[in-house]
Amino acid sequence: MKKYVALFLAVVMVLGCLAGCGKTETPATTTPVDTGTTETPAATDTTGTETEVSNVGPDGREFADEQVYHALYSSEVTTMNYLVSGSTYELVVGANTIDSLVENDSYGNIVPCAAESWEQSDDGLTWTFHLRQGQYWKDKDGNKMREVTANDYVAAARYTCDSAMDCGNSYLMDGWLVNATEILEYTAAQMVAVPKGQETEDDDVIVDENGVFFEGWDWNETAQTWDTWVEIPAVSFEELGVEALDDYTLVYHLVKPRPYFLTVLQFGTYWPAPAEQLETYGADYAIDNTNMWFNGAYILSTFEPQQKRVYTKNEDNWDAEHIYIERIEQTYNTEAATLAPELFLRGEIDGADISAALINDWLADPEKSQMVCTSRVIGDYSYFFGFNFEPTFDEEYNPGNWTIAVNNENFRQAMFHAIDREKYVAARFPGDAPSMHMINTVTPVGFASNEGKDYVYYGGLAKYTEGDSFDEALALEYFEKAIPELEEAGIEWPIQIPMNFPAGSSDWGNACVVLEQQVEDLLGADYIDIVVVTYAGNSFLTETRRAGNYAIQELNWGADFMDPETWADPFDRENTYNFFCHDTETYRVFQDTKTEETNALIDEYYALTDYARECTKDMDERFEAFAAAESFYLDHAIVVPAFISGGSYGATKLNGFEGQFAMMGQSSSRYKGQHVYKTAMSQDMYDEQYEAWLEAMGQ
């Protein structure tokens, strides 16, 4: 146990125009324009006659008589414990049933939620939140259990920082809250320590007769012991940097200033949990709806695994007047993707994704074409091609040969400029204009801005934002330089380049084939052999990317908070994205297959990111510093930016523009603020709503 390592499971995203704002007072809760969806009480005219409340939404559709939303789902959650899971799919449950301290409105503004107001200290290290009074925990049957207090946030944080709970989200407290790192390492030591004198080479943590823990360093093969023992300081949960001054006053103490701290509060790591339930259930907290309570917009009243879920409106929620959907009924079906479109046409469900295989038929049909529309491309995930510097794929693909290639910068530059991302994205999102999705930097356009200047126009990023990495002439020029260098290093032609995609994603697979053919045609099949590998196992993420079982692969990352720093996180010192680092202990043994030149680049990159992370007072300086680090990654062809998610076709009786919006967190997962309509949204309705939304956003 050289270090406690939290698993990087991301997800999810913030609206960048608020990045680094460092607000010290409660922001305004009003939105830029009236959406026209708030159901106000009946008004009285001058004659004393009550007028009817409008039942028409901003797109002209009528609200359904019964505000119940029906949907199918094909995959069951393994846990609903939002303190443990970083999976966007699993966090959806908590997003709809647990109130966070703050939330987003439909335009991305951060507004009060469980906290009515807050302030930060002048040095940026202390954040104080004032909770709403009269908010209750409820069980699955809607019974009031007790009031929500600041102690529930404290208990949740201590749980998250207990290594025994194996919280994948703890990395958002590790290095953030005072003593979080120390507690994680101390509790990890408690789990693995062996009595002093019984240690082996596999046991590097011991506990002596006084209960003191030590970590061993430098194994002595002759003496069969560790040469050096370093004490692991004892630290208690009471020393964690979060405290309840009283039932309604919550304080976080940070290790360093984080002007974007408000934005991370919308991730499950910082949500509250009933202290007594955490103590009672421990690791079993929230494995179903009987051993968790709810304080959010909805109560998970029914949870029958692989059968159905039912969310029921929490009538006592502080914002109940803006929770319009009374009930959400989700039915499990392994064939949901196939069956949903037909069930939508029958009126049995209220939303369905329309696949690439069906969309042309729907658009050609006069009736169906009025039931389908695209969704917003909000950039909640950034996708990029990663070059793996620590390959572990099968010997049949000659990983040693790939190692020679990937360590050659001219080869990487050739590949960087050879990939026609427009063709790839066109295959990935059939029917969409590729320009809807393509990005030229890892950080999406519009994610972060400072005083009106978008982050992606800072420093060396501007040339990428305004350009296109695909350049056939440049690719060939770099490849001509690479060929003799690679041959001198002992390369074997052709270079086999395994590229994986999950068996269930035909669009992804088709895109890989397009890339294979396009790059091989450009650089020559005698030199390049991209091998498209269909992965049919149980865990694509764990067994391909995290295991280093690829040469080039489509990778993605979702922002955890609203600041450029979040996009550097997947490439941090022990990353499992492209292993462009000196060490990793997370999933497998590090091989160190990088050259001296590559290691020098790694050192330079981390010097840039280390400096950027310390820039917390001057946001202009901070953005310049992170832009220098990100552009360094691109300048040396470490990854190839590709696209952002969203924009797929669907049939829906909702209006997503009524709901919360952010390019991070769980805002887009929440049903709060939305209505169920009698009819589906058409593309014309969507386009009109989208233009109005952009105008209200000032875009």
Q: What count of Cα atoms within 13 Å lies in the side-chain half-sphere of residue 150?
A: 17
Q: Which residue type, as a one-letter code, is found at position 493?
A: W
Three-state secondary structure call for residue 371: helix
Tokens of 164: 């025994």
Q: pTM for the full model? A: 0.83
Write down the pLDDT at residue 38.
Answer: 33
Residue 238 DSSP one-character state? G
CB 257 within 8 A of CB 123: yes
CB 419 within 8 A of CB 514: no
Enumerate the H helices of 161-292 as residue ranges: 180-192, 261-264, 275-281
Mean pLDDT by 10 residues, the chain (699 residues): 30 31 31 34 42 81 97 92 90 96 94 97 97 98 98 98 94 96 95 90 89 90 87 95 98 96 94 97 95 98 96 98 98 93 97 89 95 85 96 96 98 98 94 88 92 94 96 98 98 98 91 98 98 91 93 94 94 92 76 94 98 94 98 98 88 96 88 98 95 84
Torsion of CA 284, 285, 288, 293, to 10 degrees: 160
Q: What is the C-alpha to C-alpha distance for residues 308 and 300, in angstroms, rounded to an integer?
A: 11
Q: Cβ contacts of residue 342 below 8 Å, gap of 6+? A: none
Whole-angstrom CA distances from 638 to 162, 386, 442, 471, 641 are 35, 7, 11, 17, 10
Q: How do beta strands 194-195 and 205-207 pair?
A: parallel
Three-state secondary structure call for residue 337: helix
Q: How do beta strands 453-454 and 449-450 pair?
A: antiparallel
Q: What is the C-alpha to C-alpha distance for residues 154 and 240, in angstroms, rounded to an integer?
A: 9
Per the listing, tokens 């009243």 go with 301
Return the percent helix, strand and coil in the chain, to nearest 5.
Answer: 35, 20, 45
CB 33 within 8 A of CB 127: no
Q: To which H or E segment does residue 406 belong?
A: helix 399-406
Q: What count of Cα atoms within 13 Å lies in the side-chain half-sphere of residue 449?
A: 10
Q: What is the C-alpha to C-alpha distance for residues 117 and 308, in angstroms, rounded to an integer?
A: 37
Write down the pLDDT at residue 664.
Answer: 85
Q: Cβ contacts of residue 640 below 8 Å, gap of 6+? A: 384, 385, 415, 416, 419, 421, 469
Q: Is the peptide bond before 494 cis (omega within 30 degrees of 0)?
A: yes
Write down the pLDDT at residue 699.
Answer: 62
Residue-wise DSSP of 549-613: --SEEEEEE--SSSSGGGGTGGGSTT-SSS--SS---SSS-------HHHHHHHHHHHHHHHHHH
Q: What is the C-alpha to C-alpha distance for residues 253 and 112, in angstroms, rounded to an integer?
A: 20
Write down the pLDDT at residue 587.
Answer: 66
Residue 132 DSSP one-character state? P
